[in-house]
Structure 1
Amino acid sequence: MGDKAHTHPGAAGRATAADRPTSVRNVVLVGHSGSGKTTLVEALALTAGALNRAGRVEDGGCVSDYDEMEHRQHRSVQLSLVPVEWDGIKVNLLDTPGYTDFVGELRAGLRAADAALFVVSASDGVDGSTRMVWEECAAVGMPRAIVITHLEAARADFEEMTRICAEAFGGDDPDAVLPLYLPLRGPQAPDGHAPVTGLIGLLSRKLFDYASGERRESEPDGDRLPLIDEARSMLIEGIISESEDETLMERYLGGEQVDVRTLIQDLERAVARGVFFPVLAAAPAAEGARQGLGTVELLELVTRGFPTPLERAAPPVTTPDGAPRELRRCDPDESLVAEVVKTSSDPYVGRISLVRVFSGTLRADQTVHVSGHGLADRGHEDHDVDERIGALSTPFGKQQRPVPHVIAGDLACVAKLSRAETGDTLSAKDDPLLMAPWEMPDPLLPLAIEAHSKPDEDKLSQGLARLVAEDPTMRLEQNQDTHQVVLWCLGEAHADVALERLRSRYGVQVDVVPHRVSLRETFGSRAAGRGRHVKQSGGHGQYAICELEVEPLPNGSGIEFVDKVVGGAVPRQFVPSVEKGVRAQAAKGVVAGHPLIDVRVTLLDGKAHSVDSSDAAFQTAGALALREAAAEARIHLLEPVAEVSVLVGDAYVGAVMSDLSGRRGKVLGTEQTSGGRTVIRAEVPELEIGRYAVDLRSLSHGTARFDRRYARHEPMPQQVADRVREEPRAVS
């Protein structure tokens, strides 16, 4: 790394299908929105020869031309794959959105990759969400490197940003986060800013100047050597401390000169094992230039330091009925096991699935078995079917380049998988398997929608089904209490993207309406009611009279019906009819139209007619008696209460607890966790946390997350109940 020169490889940089797992590197780019991930991908593609000097794909289009919405919003909203080739190695670059709302796309990228590049802006630094992703990667031992961008900013300081990264990412071992190169600055401008024009290789003691548009190597002058040697000594000690040769540190401290090739080999092994995290710098090429600053060094690191798919343990695998199976090493000749990591729709091709092959070889027009976990709570059906796949291709922007097959370790796009959804497993039809799902965040922002017109109503169901098939972080709910269609999203930007996709991809125009919470009613006091349903209109009439008593029960009791009729005042065959009428009326509500719960209804007396009494008549009488009792009683409006757990940095604990209290929440306790964070447990009315996903993000600067689950219904304060009754359409 850093000790050999490269020339522009031209068309050789176009990546096609790999021929063996050792010639593949799968790398995900992680970083906050605006850190420069997509720009860096384009710079790497240009250096690798996959783009021409104008930044265009050789056969048309731009590497980032993937979604028109992304161009309008000036940010990535979905995972995209950009494959390039360098030194005979196919590098699959997985560009992920940096905005928190699209963390599902990030997690899909982490699942498909074997290593991660954390992209950090020199002008913005490291945010809390990026630190959390780093910790997730550390928990599974994923190899990582850090790329500092935006060095052209006026106040950019590479050395200071390296120190910040070591502090943020180094944990107990900040010496494991060290630069491989130092910036080489050009002449100072009149404003005092000296632009970065190249890099200084610490191991090779070489200068790599990009000022001409191509990487040129030279020897450093004597003035730079003290600076190089100081940083070089720190780097060597950091590498040796992670060396598998336990005698190397002792020999080095004893004065032995360690060979550069040995250092590079130890560095590559330490990076691949995920115990050393090099820091590099990169910048896009100037107009007309062939190579962006630091892109050659970065491609060297990726191809020589990052692990091959053979070095990554596959996720756990079972048969569809749950029996565990051991997945053998990543081998093209083994049985097929692949996973759909992303699903998208193309107006001309139809559904396109981005697939990572973990074992075996996937071939065009092959019949495979599709196994899905089935996320019923998110609108995803469970399925276990055989399906014939369409063409295979490797993407580049909007271009799709056909490939005949995809081997274990590689990624490609599959056309016409009509049943497969994101997270599903593709396996051999005679040996069906199912991979353990990756962790997906729970969507907690409700978006209630209605079809804009009758034609939209006809297309809405199919459009929503396709939408949730693409995005497993979205949950579709058909609420039986409020009769609303609700899309649960991760945030406002996620919701905006969902609405735009419904409109532009599936031709469905919807209106957003206030989300209704499922309220309940109950009796606050004992009351009696008489239901009289008597009609004579010639021929068979209707006759039923019943007398009821209603009393409140403890929370969670439901509806209890008791028969205390004596003397046959209500014939035995009509007692169930009264109960049926009572329960039907309770489901409709007795005052504000919300279901009635937690009451005991006692049938005390009644009257019947030998000819005109009927099942229907006593059902009606039972409902009338319950309504009359409600008119005489004090009716409480009940609201759902959620148990909420908030994971937040210690710096924001006070603000979050104060905010929860302001939402009528009851803080139950706190618990200290690792990484300077605290879990706050509270009970909060659901009426108060409809937009909590958005508000908490703002309150904690994007570093907190929460989960919630239904606890119970309980009476709401009178002033809140009065407000709800005045706005009956706001909640239900």
Structure 2
Amino acid sequence: MVDKTSGSAGGNGRVVTVDRPERIRNVVLVGHCGAGKTTLVDALALTAGAVNRAGRVEDGTSLSDYDDIEHRQRRSVQLSVVPMAWDGMKINLVDTPGYADFVGELRAGLRAADAALFVISAAEGPEGVSGTTRALWEECAAVGMPRAIVITHLDTARGDFDDMVRTCGEVLGGGAEHVLPLHMPVYGPKSPDGHRPVTGLIELLPNCVVDYSSGAAERTDPSEEQRAVLEDARNRLIEGIIAESEDETLMERYLGGDDIELDTLTADLERAVAQGGFHPVLFGAPAVEGAKQGLGTVELLDLIVGGFPTPTEHVVRAAPAANGSEPRPLSCDPDAALAAEVIRTASDPYVGRVSLVRVFSGTLHTDDTVHVCGHGLEERGHPDHDVDERVGSVTAPFGKRQFALGQVIAGDIAYVGKLGHAETGDTLSETGAPLLIQPWPMPDPLLPIAIRAHGKSDEDKLSHGLARLAAEDPTLRVEHNALTSQLVLWCLGEAHRDVALERLRSRFGVQVDVVDHRVALRETFAGKATARGRHVKQSGGHGQYAVCEIEVEPLPGGSGIEFVDRVVGGVVPRQFIPSVEKGVRAQAARGVAAGYPLVDVRVTLFDGKAHSVDSSDSAFQTAGALALREAAATAGVALLEPVAEVAVVVSDDYVGPVLSDLSARRGRVLGTEPHGDGRTRVRAEVPELALSRYAIDLRSLSHGTGDFSRSYARHESMPAAVAAAIRDEADR
């Protein structure tokens, strides 16, 4: 087999450099956890010569040397980039997390890449092509990203390649004619436990078998048994390629019995893949004993180089940062003006903040001064900013490690150090002509986690740690809730929460305690009542004397606190009426029953008494507060809970369970409507008290296919039993 690990792309297993964007391929690996993405990256790196047989480069660096947090959590929680050289080209493989909680990292990978490899495990059978995988596929389709599919774990008992290809065509590709295999596996004898090792592959277009059973690749003609399977699959592949061809005469020639030239079919295949109209299926399998690489890796690298688009074909638009005019396409030219985007942000204990950057235009050098521009995420704790900063080192990513580069050209990906203000999604551009690339959409974090500093020393470091954490992760929202006096982290799920808290502890040295999240309840009067507030004290010298009589009545929702003065005859001196109002409003803010703010009442002051010497502002404030508490004891207090308007988008298969679950949460379903592609949108009003864990529960209920949004609707009275339980808790 021809060695393609060397060529015009320079590389020594660590640093791979090219001089033109046309010689770069940026590919993101997408798939759920356990599909084998990272294993596939390791196998491709081994085949390309980026690592040795032990999975390490010259200095002992391993692709698996990921974050310590990942080892403790036993999950990949952030994207990593592995560059390698193949056939004179540089390939940047962007490995993304498979957990739904880290979809922000996935979307960052989509922005960094120009094509996607969907990695799907055959070990789970057709059920492995889950709703989550389909949602990711649709996300790639929405941005016009070319896609191919790699089937892994074919050697397992459930590994059926034909079934997986058929399922992918039905669930993902919109039809079997758009999702077809380029190769088919050749199996060895089945073991007693049901496993079938893959010993080779059938190349459909060249019409040959590549046998690895001896450890080396040997090309042979297919056997009679293989020929019967090959012929049907090869004909369907050729028909699928011709259907996407720009040469309309090919179909006539093919139907007329002509043999279409292999070079013509290969060129049309690569063009169809690059344009996103055809999605080839390949497979990856472990190397047989004695082989130098895994099965299918050479063919996959060839497809990436020949069939995936170059960065020059990936159109990204930017607008001048100042005037807000229409975005214009960027030129993927190393000699053009600089335009780059921060794909992710990390904190290194030795060099500080490090930014992973995709350059879309121009060339970025070490020690350049660039303009850092970020807009649109202020509500998540990322204020808008425009600032000039000097770039530190420019380094090549390799898994967790970095190696010196000096510069990075348009189309490439690199790490940039010492950008103190740059956050994920920010744009780097020329200082004289700032640009803004619209950041990719981020999911709303909908799982609230209330925290507090564990000790006094942690209080001093907490704000700084949260600021750095938010800069790294734009899917995390930090909220200081003034109504509940709580510090709340809004996360995407439990795994996201665990990683955020662990990063606070291990990276920033902040210990926090998780406490119960409080919902901002309110109180109002259940009926009309009158009451007297009497504050009379004599302790030598001037005493304290104030008496006021009030009438309290409930108002419609949203009315707030209304204070009315109906005092006649000067029984309460005019200068003390504002004091009564101040005391009433202060007590209303503190609550009169369970400690929640009082709202939607009218307080009327109609009588009172004063003393010429002992009456004072503070005395009448105290009397007003006492009167309001006395009225509450007479009329009774109703607790109001916030109600959210919720929109749940879920697969049609799970609409019934979702409706039942919403009803169990005291929700009122407002209606359902089709959402396209076998999904339904359910609209409902649900109390906020029942939504604290809904982000987790919906994911479990819908097998990962559902998502939801929420918005505040209003406050309304809660059921008596729920209110009683909350009052009992407040009294304890």
TM-score range, shorter chain: over 0.9
Determine if contact 2:5/2:86 at 8 Å carries over to the other structure.
no
- 1:662-701 equivalences in 2 (<5 Å): 662-701=664-703
Match of 1:148 among 151, 154, 158: 151
- Answer yes or no: is 1:95 the counterpart of 2:95: yes
Give the distance between the partners of 1:365 and 1:634, measured in 2 at CA: 69
**In structure 2, what is the equivalent of residue 199 of structure 1?**
201
* Superposition deviation, residue 481 in structure 1: 1.4
Match of 2:167 among 164, 168, 171: 164
**In structure 2, what is the equivalent of residue 131 of structure 1?**
134
Structure 1: gaps of 5 or more residues: none
User: Could you report, residue by residue, the CA deviation over 1:532-575 in whole angstroms, capped at 9, with x for unpaired residues?
Assistant: 33344444444333221110011111111122222333333333
* Superposition deviation, residue 696 in structure 1: 0.9
**In structure 1, what is the equivalent of residue 82 of structure 2?**
82
User: Could you report, residue by residue, the CA deviation over 1:80-131 in whole angstroms, capped at 9, with x for unpaired residues?
Assistant: 1111111121111111111111111111111111110000001122111010
Give the distance between the partners of 2:276 and 2:381, measured in 1 at CA: 37
Bigger drift between 575-584 and 675-684 goes to 575-584
Bigger drift between 76-85 and 221-230 goes to 221-230
**In structure 2, what is the equivalent of residue 424 of structure 1?**
426
Distance 1:654 1:729, change over 3 A: farther
Determine if contact 1:215/1:291 at 8 Å carries over to the other structure.
no
**In structure 2, what is the equivalent of residue 50 of structure 1?**
50
* Superposition deviation, residue 216 in structure 1: 3.6
Give the distance between the partners of 1:388 and 1:272, measured in 2 at CA: 37
**In structure 1, what is the equivalent of residue 451 of structure 2?**
449
* Superposition deviation, residue 611 in structure 1: 4.4
Determine if contact 1:24/1:308 at 8 Å carries over to the other structure.
yes
Distance 1:7 1:328, change over 3 A: closer
**In structure 2, what is the equivalent of residue 714 of structure 1?**
716
Distance 1:424 1:729, change over 3 A: farther
- 1:282-681 equivalences in 2 (<5 Å): 282-285=284-287, 289-320=291-322, 322-681=324-683
Distance 1:248 1:353, change over 3 A: same
Give the distance between the partners of 2:164 and 2:327, measured in 1 at CA: 45
Bigger drift between 596-605 and 532-541 goes to 532-541
Give the distance between the partners of 1:314 and 1:348, measured in 2 at CA: 34
Distance 1:70 1:729, change over 3 A: farther
Structure 1 vs Structure 2: percent identity of aligned residues? 68
Distance 1:527 1:568, change over 3 A: same
* Superposition deviation, residue 341 in structure 1: 1.1
Q: Letter of the aligned partner of 2:68 in structure 1? A: E
Determine if contact 1:53/1:287 at 8 Å carries over to the other structure.
no
Determine if contact 2:4/2:88 at 8 Å carries over to the other structure.
no
* Superposition deviation, residue 490 in structure 1: 0.8
Give the distance between the partners of 2:216 and 2:68, measured in 1 at CA: 32
* Superposition deviation, residue 361 in structure 1: 1.2
Give the distance between the partners of 2:245 and 2:197, measured in 1 at CA: 36
Determine if contact 1:28/1:109 at 8 Å carries over to the other structure.
yes
Q: Letter of the aligned partner of 2:88 in structure 1? A: G
Bigger drift between 233-242 and 538-547 goes to 538-547
Distance 1:287 1:377, change over 3 A: farther
Give the distance between the partners of 2:244 and 2:335, measured in 1 at CA: 35
* Superposition deviation, residue 606 in structure 1: 2.5
Give the distance between the partners of 1:38 and 1:317, measured in 2 at CA: 36
Q: Letter of the aligned partner of 2:385 in structure 1? A: H
Distance 1:286 1:602, change over 3 A: farther
3-state SS, counterpart of residue 77 of structure 1: coil
* Superposition deviation, residue 439 in structure 1: 1.1
Q: Letter of the aligned partner of 1:55 in structure 2? A: G
Q: Letter of the aligned partner of 1:51 in structure 2? A: V
3-state SS, counterpart of residue 650 of structure 2: strand
Give the distance between the partners of 1:553 and 1:240, measured in 2 at CA: 72
Bigger drift between 532-541 and 329-338 goes to 532-541
TM-score (norm 2): 0.96
Give the distance between the partners of 1:728 and 1:216, measured in 2 at CA: 77
Give the distance between the partners of 1:288 and 1:384, measured in 2 at CA: 57
Distance 1:476 1:191, change over 3 A: closer
Give the distance between the partners of 1:521 and 1:17, measured in 2 at CA: 66
**In structure 2, what is the equivalent of residue 113 of structure 1?**
113
How many equivalent pairs are there?
A: 726
* Superposition deviation, residue 376 in structure 1: 3.1
* Superposition deviation, residue 232 in structure 1: 0.9
Determine if contact 1:15/1:85 at 8 Å carries over to the other structure.
no
3-state SS, counterpart of residue 144 of structure 2: coil
3-state SS, counterpart of residue 324 of structure 1: coil
Structure 2: gaps of 5 or more residues: none
User: Could you report, residue by residue, the CA deviation over 1:623-668 in whole angstroms, capped at 9, with x for unpaired residues?
Assistant: 2221121121110011111111111111111111001101111111
Q: Letter of the aligned partner of 2:592 in structure 1? A: V
- Answer yes or no: is 1:723 the counterpart of 2:725: yes
User: Could you report, residue by residue, the CA deviation over 1:144-190 in whole angstroms, capped at 9, with x for unpaired residues?
Assistant: 0000000111221111111111111121x321100000112234546
Distance 1:190 1:497, change over 3 A: closer
Determine if contact 1:144/1:271 at 8 Å carries over to the other structure.
yes
Determine if contact 1:89/1:303 at 8 Å carries over to the other structure.
yes
